[in-house]
Copies of this chain bind each other. A is one copy, B any other.
Amino acid sequence: MIRRFRGESLNKVDAKGRVSVPAAFRRVLEEGDPDFSEGSYPNFVIVYGGVRGNCLEGYTINSITKVDKLISKLPRFSREREILERFINTQSTYMQLDETGRIVLSIRLKEKIGIKDEAIFAGMGEKFQIWEPTNYQNEVDALNTSFENLPEDENPFLKLDQLQD
């Protein structure tokens, strides 16, 4: 089975910026790190740029490597590549879980998304997101509204099956 990021969790952020990554996510990060072995702690990548930039996004090493490989196919000095490198490499950072399954969010990262002493972890399949709780609620509400306003023929649930191969 290929495990994916699922579920959400509200965790405390302490004075040093430490937060527990939900245990279920840790399993996914372990599976997604080719260098992980029993007794070590998985590495992964947090991207903090992104189009809207009000949350952090965590990627396993394997999935970020896929992205990196795609970027590397673009001509070395092209503008396109520059844009992608700027958003995906410049605005990201390696992370490693510690012994107790925590990471530390630096002051910069916390400021970036407005986190104080709590953070929401939200599973998104190949990635997970970290939100400041209020912002998260707003995002969920906004999604609900925009979903309710969609015409029937654009209902993504219905469109899903049409994509079939």
Contact = CB atoms under 8 A, between A and B. Distances in A.
A73 interface: yes
Contacts of A160: 67, 70-71, 84
A61 to B, nearest CB: 6
A59 to B, nearest CB: 11
Contacts of A140: 86
A126 B72 contact: yes
A4 B70 contact: no
B164 A70 contact: yes
B8 A83 contact: no
A68 B146 contact: no
A80 B163 CA distance: 13
B89 A146 contact: no
Interface string A84-100: 11110111111000000
Given A146-B79, A146-B83, A160-B70, A8 B90 contact: yes
Contacts of A15: none
Interchain residue pairs A-B with the least CB separation, the first 4: A7-B93, A85-B124, A89-B125, A90-B122
Interface of A: 1, 3-8, 24, 33-35, 43, 45, 51, 61, 67-68, 70-73, 76-77, 79-87, 89-94, 122-126, 140, 143, 146-147, 156-157, 159-160, 163-164
12 contacts: A1-B35, A4-B68, A5-B89, A6-B90, A71-B160, A80-B156, A82-B143, A83-B147, A85-B125, A89-B124, A90-B122, A90-B124
